[in-house]
């Protein structure tokens, strides 16, 4: 529990109406999408960058830990106050789009801006912000930057880091730093913005983000490829892209997901459908869209596709995407709890990676339905267990560890977009050697020598 004097000092900085230590607020800010609970000792809502600086300076002097938080929609515990202290809520006041610069095609935003709110604002002006995490309707851009969020459009357009041009952030001692510029080129000094991206609030608190925008494509169409097996679909992924296809998205669902969609949601799919690839193509002329669709259809059929469907209107496109958007809720037919990990491998390794992942599931007797962003090699692996069975939970976590080791051995990574947080911290030694982990600790100490910012995350010491 924080001393009363600390609460009073926070109230003096931001006003009593922006400091809460009642049970309702502590519970509300104690969890994220992991369903794991850690209560803070207080929740503080800064009104501006000056407040953030004053709060951090006070906490640093008094060794009070701080957990920055956006919407709390993360899947790995990055925004959980694992060691108590204060949760710094950025969504209440620091949630404004400060500028949309049409001439330089950049947007300047505060960290509490909702991803989709920015998308809508720039699209109304004919511009486009591509990163589209599944949580885009409620996740904040500060959280997206802190986790380096991806999304379905990453196959063509990349992820959050590809759009961050500059940041303003506050170090634990209260110093305000600028990292990057709104220029297209900038090679002066260390890439501090790059270090802060995906740092999960462990190094500094982001207070302003400058994001690159691009022109909005004029035409978009959706497609679906239906395949007899997972292997056929996975071969089609990397071979299609190598042949010149450049889809916006190429989303994958395996045979277990196809079965779940049929049984639970009544999605009409061919009886022998063993896997699906769904996505969009876009362009500024209709001929470009037609070329992309023709390239995909040719490659899909060369790799065994039974059917290639194109959505020529918005209603049909919505129908095709319904299957992908409901993949996650449908697979609960296989178990009451899913151990969901977002591994990523080189695209050419997808067929082998999935074959070996299924073998691990079979070894333990678990169904492991998989779906996700095959176009960029990022697959959501779901080990399905009975959440009330202690042995199944233990074996499920053991299976996950084996999957992590397999993926790293194949040149992949523990996380394609969800981050490390608390849930993947124990596995960092699988992905990094002792020297690399020591370097992470050195970077952390350089930014935060008193270890007050989000301690215990990213596999860093508590």
With cut-offs at 50, 70 and 90, classify the pLDDT of residue 272: confident
Q: Tell me the CA distances in angstroms from 422 to 200, 340, 367, one per residue in order.
A: 11, 14, 25
The whole-number average pLDDT for the span 202-216 is: 98
Please, what are the domains in the chain? 4-89 (3.30.43.10), 97-215 (3.30.465.10), 219-328 (3.30.70.2190), 335-429 (3.30.70.2740)
Report the 10 Å Cβ neighbour count for 339: 21
pLDDT at 256: 96
Angle of helix 390-409 relative to helix 350-364, nearest 10 degrees, comes to: 160
Which residue's entry shows tokens 């496109």?
Answer: 317
458 has pLDDT over 90: no
Q: Pseudo-torsion of CA 455, 458, 459, 462, nearest 10°?
A: 0
Q: What are 8's strand-pairing partners?
A: none
Q: Rounded to whole angstroms, how far apart are CA atoms 142 and 133?
A: 13
Q: Where are the alpha helices (DSSP H) in 124-250?
A: 141-147, 154-157, 192-196, 230-242
376 has pLDDT over 90: yes
The whole-number average pLDDT for the span 289-300 is: 96
pLDDT at 1: 78
Q: Rounded to whole angstroms, how far apart are CA atoms 429 and 460?
A: 11
First to last CA, the chain: 18
pLDDT at 460: 82
Tell me the per-residue pLDDT of 122-145, one tens digit each, with 9 for 90 and over. Answer: 999 999 999 999 999 999 999 999
pLDDT at 269: 82
Tell me the per-residue pLDDT of 218-254, one tens digit each, with 9 for 90 and over. Answer: 999 999 999 999 999 999 999 999 999 999 999 999 9
Structure tokens at 165: 């041009």
Q: Where are the alpha helices (DSSP H) in 212-365?
A: 230-242, 255-265, 286-302, 314-325, 327-330, 350-364
């Amino acid at each position: 529990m924080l001393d009363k004097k600390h609460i009073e000092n926070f109230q003096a900085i931001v006003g009593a109406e922006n400091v809460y230590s009642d049970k309702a607020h502590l519970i509300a800010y104690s969890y994220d999408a992991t369903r794991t609970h850690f209560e803070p000792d207080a929740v503080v809502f800064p009104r501006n960058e000056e407040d953030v600086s004053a709060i951090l300076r006070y906490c640093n002097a008094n060794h009070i830990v701080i957990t920055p938080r956006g919407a709390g929609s993360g899947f790995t515990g990055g925004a959980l106050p694992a060691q108590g202290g204060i949760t710094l809520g950025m969504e209440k006041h620091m949630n404004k789009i400060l500028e949309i610069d049409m001439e330089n095609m950049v947007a300047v935003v505060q960290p509490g801006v909702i991803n989709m709110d920015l998308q809508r604002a720039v699209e109304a002006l004919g511009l486009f912000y591509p990163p589209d995490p599944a949580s885009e309707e409620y996740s904040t851009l500060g959280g997206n930057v802190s986790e380096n969020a991806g999304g379905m459009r990453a196959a063509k357009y990349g992820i959050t880091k590809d759009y961050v041009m500059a940041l303003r952030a506050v170090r634990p001692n209260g110093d305000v730093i600028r990292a990057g510029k709104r220029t297209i080129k900038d090679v002066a000094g260390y890439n501090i913005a790059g270090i802060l991206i995906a740092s999960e609030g462990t190094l500094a608190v982001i207070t302003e983000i400058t994001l690159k925008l691009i022109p909005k494509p004029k035409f978009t169409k959706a497609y679906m490829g239906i395949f007899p097996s997972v292997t056929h679909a996975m071969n089609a992924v990397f071979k299609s892209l190598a042949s010149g296809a450049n889809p916006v998205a190429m989303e994958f669902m395996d045979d277990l997901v196809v079965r779940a969609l049929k049984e639970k949601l009544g999605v009409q799919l061919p009886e022998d459908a063993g896997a699906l690839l769904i996505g969009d193509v876009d362009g500024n002329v209709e001929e470009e869209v037609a070329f992309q669709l023709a390239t995909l259809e040719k490659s899909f059929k060369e790799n065994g596709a039974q059917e290639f469907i194109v959505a020529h209107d918005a209603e049909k496109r919505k129908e095709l995407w319904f299957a992908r958007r409901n993949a996650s809720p449908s697979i609960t037919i296989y178990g009451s709890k899913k151990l969901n990990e977002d591994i990523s491998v080189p695209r050419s390794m997808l067929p082998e990676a999935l074959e070996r992942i299924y073998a691990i599931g079979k070894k333990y007797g678990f169904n492991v339905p998989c779906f996700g962003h095959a176009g960029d090699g990022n697959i959501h692996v779901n080990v399905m267990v009975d959440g009330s069975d202690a042995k199944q939970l233990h074996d499920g976590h053991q299976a996950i560890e084996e999957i992590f080791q397999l993926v790293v051995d194949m040149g992949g990574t523990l996380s394609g977009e969800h981050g490390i947080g608390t849930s993947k911290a124990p596995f960092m030694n699988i992905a990094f050697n002792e020297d690399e982990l020591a370097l992470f600790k050195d970077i952390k100490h350089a930014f935060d020598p008193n270890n007050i910012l989000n301690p215990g995350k990213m596999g860093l010491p508590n």
